[in-house]
Amino acid sequence: MGDEREFQQAIERYTEAITLNRNNHLLFSDRSAAYARVGRFAEALEDANRCHELKPDWPKAYYRLGIALQGLGKYEDAIVAFAEGLAADPKYSSMLNGLTETMLRSPLRAVFQPKLEKFEGLKLDKDPFIITSLIGQELQTAGKLVPAMKVLEAAFSVGTESLKLEASLMQALGRVHWALGNSDRALGYMEKDLSISDTLGDAQGCLRARDNLGTAYFSVHRYHEAASHHSAQLQLAQSLGDAKEMVNALTRFGNSVAKQGNYAQAINAYKDSLKIAKDLDDQSSVYRAFMNLGETYLASGDSDKAIVWHRKHLAYAKEYKNKPEEAQAYALLGQACFSKANYDQSMMFYQQLLSVAVQMNNMELKAKAYGGMGQANRAMGNLWHAQSCREQQLKLCKDMGYQEGEMVALSQLGHLHKASGKLHLAMQCYSDSLALAQKLKDRAGEGRAYANLGSCHVSLGNFREAVNYYQQELGIAQETKDVGSEATTLGHLGTAYLALDNLEMALDHLHHSLQLAQDVKNKQVECQALSNLGAYHTNTKEYPEALPYLEKGLKLAQELKDSATESKVCHNLGLCHEALGHYQQAIQYYQHDLLVAKEAQDRDGMTQACKKLIKAHNEIGDREQADIYQRKLLSMAEEIQNTSGKCSFWNHVAEDLLNSGDYDRAIEFYENLLKEAKKEQHQSFEGLAYCGLGNAYLSRGDFDHALSYHRRDLQLRKAVSDLTGECNAYANMGAAHNSMNQHQHAVDCYEHQLTLAKQLDNPILVTKAYGCLGIVHRNMKNFKKALHYHQLQLSTALHLKENTAQQANAYANLGDTYEAVGDYQKAIANHEHNLVLAQRAQNAIMEIRALSSLGRAHRGLGNLTHALQYFLQQLKLANSMSDEYTEAECYADIGGINMLLGDYGSALDAFSHQLQLARSLEDSFSEALAACGLGEVHIRLGNYQEAVDYHKLDLRISISHGLRDGEARALGDIAQTYETIGEYKYAIEYREKQLSVAELLGDNFTKALAFIGLGKIHIKLNDVLRSVTLLKQALSLIVDQSAQEQTQVEIEVEAKIRFYLGQAFYLQGHYEPSLVCLQNALPLFEHMRQNVGSFDHGTKQTLELHPLLFQTLINVLVRLNKVEEALEAAEMERNRATTDALIGKEVQRSDLRECGLLKSYSQASSIQETIDTMHCPVLYFSVALSHIYIWLLHPKSGIVQFQKVDMSEFGLPGSDSASVFSESSSSYVQPLVETVASLRESLGVQHCSSRLAAKSMSSSISDELDSGE
């Protein structure tokens, strides 16, 4: 009790001292000792730790730590502290005593004490190196790896003069570091063990060290070093005459060289080991040799010899009645037969394995049997049976607590769910497998799980997510130095980057994959790498570059008997030769592909090969052979037993029919697909069916059905959390709404598409969504928004460096939108970018689109010759591709341009070519357009009956093929032709029919055109009241948009409506509403005049109404007693006529603008200012609708007299209505000149200005106007 009181007092004094100096390690050491003496070990540990912090290299600090930890019962930590203290001071006897005492108090006392007593007898119990080494190895044996490693490292620091003891320690350190995963440090200690043993001349030690090093290097996939050590191990075993070690060395040497692809060398080693093992009667080594020989032959591609050796294994096991080895042999035979694609035989061996497993009541073997049966069932297409087997395998592994097997079963179940299209279930299995791998710290298993998840995301189209998973897989392969897996993963990344159109990254990864595969001589991975590179160059249309990779890949695939890769390579070789025009070679490769697919019972491969053979035979005109393969293709559906095969078949055929334009048959096949997918709950194919049906109905023009199927597709994609599928479904729904003119619904869909694309971080989908939003806003006449979205589309596409298709599409959309707003210069600039990209990509389809767009834009700009050149280039390119559909479109554009140029003969030739091609192609749409074009040309030529005949042909074709837009167009053209020749009864009949069709279409623009046509005819028939009603209806349909958002065509139509409505009100005597209409029409006509170079023949005809607009306006103003405003209108018309006359003489608008001629005197005050400068009265006159109006203006006084004279005074017609549609009033010119001259002389005034509403005037009048001004 007294001692305890003394220690307590000591603690108090140390505490006071520490308060004064907290950095004195001695004070903390002494207080820790005092705390320990009174049993306060927690405080003792705290002070010991503080002491160690202040003086890390002081041995006594370790001692204090050891005592405190020992007192707390933390024996392993105490042992480490004492051992590390000895490393700091090997002569510290109390430290060694503490280490020994702690071991004797620990749970390891029972195994340690006998050995300690033995060392005491040898008087070695006080040797710090021996005791520390002994304790480290005991901890290692007990599985206490971290403390074992620390104690052994301490022993190494303590050191010894005995090389033999040091070699033993190196061996122990190598083992413990290896067990902890510190492979580099472990290999370092193992190399030291070998070096010491070699120095000692210890052959057995060298043998052991070589074996350890070879095994370690093999484990980290450094097979060359492993083979080198095992070769040296073999030589040592031979020199020692140790037959058992020779077997061991031969086996491990064989394993190492087999991993390098040196199968012949491995086989020889295994055969040598088998011979020695038999001589030794070493049954376990004999079994191992049989197994290795079979597996090596299988790896080399010789499955027949593999089966031979596995059968020998089976016979040997049966001879010696060794059930475990019999089971192993059945498993190996099942795998060998599976590799040979002999799935029935494989199934039989796995069933025999199951029988043996049941006899042995071995759950692990049962699990293996079910796994093999699942594998065979899946290969035979029996997915349900395969799933059942894998589920049984999973249950057995869970019951056993066999997590490694559970992980494998989950992965395989994931593969089955993926094959069944149940991707969400597949991803769940792969995620569970990943979690188990992480729990087990199985880095290879973790890598496989990441690869599977990446593959799932590829199937979903989530390529960026796939890249993330593949990069994690790559990191593991590099960390574990598994070069084969690294090469495979690089291939996966390359194909994913290719799908993302990141061509630079794709090519880099694919080349790296090939290089690594060749470095490690892994022929299987090399074969896949060659195939991937060939596929890359095929995809990028670099066909000559693809061929060498594909040819080498084919040779290697045949050598390895890899039918899947062989089929894929043959397919791509066929594509390359077909693209290069080598059809016979393409056919040979497709036939090879078909044969390989047939041998492998690959229905998908057979389907694809048949389709390619049909296409290739059609290309060379061999219809008979094409029909043979077509019949073969259709017969396959009856032969297919498994659901996936049937669904895949229906989908492939439906896609081909849809692409070829056979929409009805495509729908039939998609319905078969949907029925089969629903029956088997195959959600992936069900989604494809909904999508395909939607697209087929959309192509057929049945938009309601299309929308319905795309909505079902969307619901399904949401249910399975398929974000990419959901994104595409919204895009398809947007297209359907857009086709139905339900533009706001389309916008909503495309905005959903954009949100999902951004969520997926998929720039290609984002680019497409921007493009769709731009197009629908263009259709809604929201041109600012359209340009905004297309500019976003372009900026996003430009970040996809190698994706020229997306960039070209963005430039094309921008060009189309600028064209829609009449900014043809910007349209041309964007279309030129599009053309450059198309030519750089050597993409003829893109180039054709660009040339067509440039032709249209130049036509809009009035550069008809340039437009014609682009259309001719487009025709030449289409001709070189034998693309008759595009040829027909080109002839339509060429005909239109020639018609505008007045070259009616060439126009007739072009439209006739279009008509002929359309008929041969059975393209009713193009045939109808050609008939329309021919009708237009004949109208220009004055051949009205021929024009009516062709327009009626257009009508018949459109009605018979359900082309409602064409029907409305043809009815309008027929009506216009009848109106031109004065057949108003027929004109009204066809306009009313046009109106009915437009109602059915919900096409407000065409309805407006029909109302205008009817209104105009009723004016001519003097039914003004009816005309006003009709024209008001037309106006209500066309003025929904502001002028800024209207197209040029809509501006023109609105101008015509307001003009004719103003005329009708004028003839009705309703001058106020007439004035409003005419004044509103003026800025629209002026807009057209300012852009006159941008309009075609029809718009120029509309501009011929401009003089009549001013004439009517002047008359209306006079009748409303607005004399000054009438004068302003007359002056505006004078300015218009002068400008048009000068432009007609090829004076540039810019020159006129600079000299002020485009600026009119739009106010009476401006006119008066000019008169004031003349200091004399001025007579101003204007002719408008059979009246002459005369203003007498005085300086300072303004208008002092106004007169109007009826034209009938000249003996000419005086009806206002007769003048409304007058094309020329040149007959008024001479009488008018005489009258004005007479008035001028009688009044004694100067002549300032006059303007006649005539298309032409005599030179004497022109001269007088010039001199008067």
Residue 297 or residue 1099, greater confidence: 297
β-pair type (1178-1184, 1246-1251): parallel
Structure confidence at residue 1048 (pLDDT):
75
**Residues in CB range of 962: below 8 A, 6 or more apart:** 701
Residue 1015 exposure: Cα atoms within 13 Å on the Cβ side: 25
Residue 1211 or residue 281, greater confidence: 281
Q: Model confidence at 541, in pLDDT bands (50, 70, 90)?
A: confident
Structure confidence at residue 1168 (pLDDT):
73
Q: Could you read off the pLDDT of 907-962 as tens digits, one per residue?
A: 999 999 999 999 988 888 899 999 999 999 999 999 999 999 999 999 999 999 88
Q: Is the pLDDT of residue 1099 over 80?
A: no
CA 213, CA 230: separation in Å to the nearest integer? 8
List alpha helices for 600-641, DSSP H. Answer: 603-619, 623-639
Phi, psi of 575, deg, nearest 5: -60, -45
Q: Model confidence at 1235, in pLDDT bands (50, 70, 90)?
A: low
User: The tokens of 359 are what?
Assistant: 């006899």
Structure confidence at residue 1245 (pLDDT):
52
Query: Which of the residue ranges 347-351, 384-388, 965-969, 1140-1144 would you say has the lowest mean pLDDT?
Result: 1140-1144
DSSP letters of 39-90?
T-HHHHHHHHHHHHHH-TT-HHHHHHHHHHHHHTT-HHHHHHHHHHHHHH-T
Residue 328 or residue 619, greater confidence: 328
Query: Which of the residue ranges 414-428, 607-621, 670-684 would you say has the lowest mean pLDDT?
Result: 607-621
Q: Could you read off the pLDDT of 1244-1254 as tens digits, one per residue?
A: 554 444 333 33
Q: Is the pLDDT of residue 386 over 80?
A: yes
- Tokens 């004949």: give the residue: 938
Element (H, E) at 823: none
Entry pTM: 0.54
Query: Which of the residue ranges 75-79, 145-149, 625-629 would you say has the lowest mean pLDDT?
Result: 625-629
Query: Which of the residue ranges 404-418, 636-650, 653-667 would you say has the lowest mean pLDDT?
Result: 636-650
Structure confidence at residue 953 (pLDDT):
94
Q: Is the pLDDT of residue 1150 over 80?
A: no
Q: What percentage of residues in the chain have a pLDDT greater than 70?
A: 89
- Mean pLDDT score, 1084-1111: 75
Q: Model confidence at 1096, in pLDDT bands (50, 70, 90)?
A: low
Structure confidence at residue 600 (pLDDT):
65
User: The tokens of 1224 are what?
Assistant: 């020329």
Structure confidence at residue 737 (pLDDT):
92
**Residues in CB range of 828: below 8 A, 6 or more apart:** 815, 854, 857, 858, 861
- Mean pLDDT score, 633-660: 68
Structure confidence at residue 1001 (pLDDT):
86
Structure confidence at residue 1263 (pLDDT):
27
Phi, psi of 1204, deg, nearest 5: -125, 140
Contact 1109, 1082 (CB under 8 A): yes
Structure confidence at residue 76 (pLDDT):
93
As a whole number, the mean pLDDT across the chain is: 85
Q: Is the pLDDT of residue 1161 over 50?
A: no
Residue 19 exposure: Cα atoms within 13 Å on the Cβ side: 6
Q: Is the pLDDT of residue 639 over 80?
A: no
Q: What b/e sequence results for 360-390 when a residue is b if at least 16 CB atoms lie within 10 Å of its CB, and e otherwise?
A: eebbebbbbbbbbbbbbbbbbbbbebbbbbb
Q: Is the pLDDT of residue 1223 over 50?
A: no
Residue type for position 1072: E
C-alpha dihedral, 1228 to 1230 to 1233 to 1235, nearest 10°: -80
Contact 44, 22 (CB under 8 A): no
Q: Is the pLDDT of residue 458 over 80?
A: yes
Q: Is the pLDDT of residue 4 over 90?
A: no
Q: Model confidence at 888, in pLDDT bands (50, 70, 90)?
A: very high
Structure confidence at residue 1143 (pLDDT):
58
Sign of CA dihedral 1232, 1237, 1243, 1245: positive
Highest mean pLDDT among 427-441, 666-680, 1041-1055, 1199-1213: 427-441
Residue 812 or residue 1180, greater confidence: 812
Query: Which of the residue ranges 51-55, 990-994, 1262-1266 would you say has the lowest mean pLDDT?
Result: 1262-1266
Structure confidence at residue 1144 (pLDDT):
54
What secondary structure, in 3-state letters, does 451-480 show?
A: HHHHHHHHHHCCHHHHHHHHHHHHHHHHHC
Q: Model confidence at 841, in pLDDT bands (50, 70, 90)?
A: confident
| Distance in angstroms between the alpha carbons of the first and the last residue of the chain | 137
Q: Model confidence at 164, in pLDDT bands (50, 70, 90)?
A: confident
- Mean pLDDT score, 746-771: 87
Residue type for position 835: L
Query: For helices 643-660 and 663-679, what crossing angle results, to 10°?
Result: 160
Structure confidence at residue 1260 (pLDDT):
23
CA 139, CA 130: separation in Å to the nearest integer? 14
Q: Could you read off the pLDDT of 724-745 as tens digits, one per residue?
A: 788 889 999 999 998 888 999 9
